Amino acid sequence: MKLLENKTAIITGASRGIGRAIAKLFANHGANIAFTSLKRDDNIVSLEKELSALGVKAVGYVSDASDFEDSSSLAEKVMNDFGSIDVLVNNAGITKDNLLMRMSEDDFNAVMKVNLNSVFNLTKACLRPMLKQRSGSIINMSSVVGVKGNAGQSNYSASKAAINGFTKSTALELGSRNIRCNSIAPGFIETEMTSALGKDKIDEWAQSIPLKRNGSANDVANVSLFLASDMSSYVTGQVINVCGGMLT
> How large is the C-alpha radius of gyration of the chain?
17
Average the pLDDT over each of 21-25, 70-74, 165-169, 192-196 and give the range with the smallest value: 192-196
Sort 90 into a burial class: Cβ within 10 Å, 0-12 / 13-18 / 19+.
Answer: buried
Find the catalytic residue in 156, 166, 188, 205.
156
In a domain, 206, yes or no: no
In a domain, 26, yes or no: yes
Is the model's pLDDT at 178 over the cut of 80?
yes
Please name the amino acid found at residue 176: S
Is the model's pLDDT at 198 over the cut of 80?
no
Place 202 in a pLDDT band, splitting at 50, 70 and 90. Answer: confident
In a domain, 195, yes or no: no
Name the residue range of residue 87's domain: 8-189+218-238
Q: In sequence order, what are the residues at sequence separation of 6 or more whose Cβ sits closer than 8 angstroms to the Cβ of residue 165?
A: none
The whole-chain average pLDDT of the chain stands at 95
Which pLDDT score is estimated for 248?
81
In a domain, 81, yes or no: yes
Which pLDDT score is estimated for 206?
87
Percentage of the chain surpassing pLDDT 70? 98
Which pLDDT score is estimated for 103?
97
Q: Is 178 helix (H, G, I), strand (E, B) or coil?
A: coil
Which pLDDT score is estimated for 239?
98
pTM of the model: 0.96
Domain CATH for 111: 3.40.50.720
Overall number of domains in the chain: 1
pLDDT tens-digit readout, 222-239: 999 999 999 999 999 999
pLDDT tens-digit readout, 52-106: 999 999 999 999 999 999 999 999 999 999 999 999 999 999 999 999 999 999 9
In a domain, 53, yes or no: yes
Question: Are residues 125 and 72 in contact, defined by beta-carbon separation less than 8 angstroms?
Answer: yes
Sort 34 into a burial class: Cβ within 10 Å, 0-12 / 13-18 / 19+.
Answer: buried
Q: Is 156 a catalytic residue?
A: yes
In a domain, 194, yes or no: no
* Chain Cα centroid distance, residue 108: 20
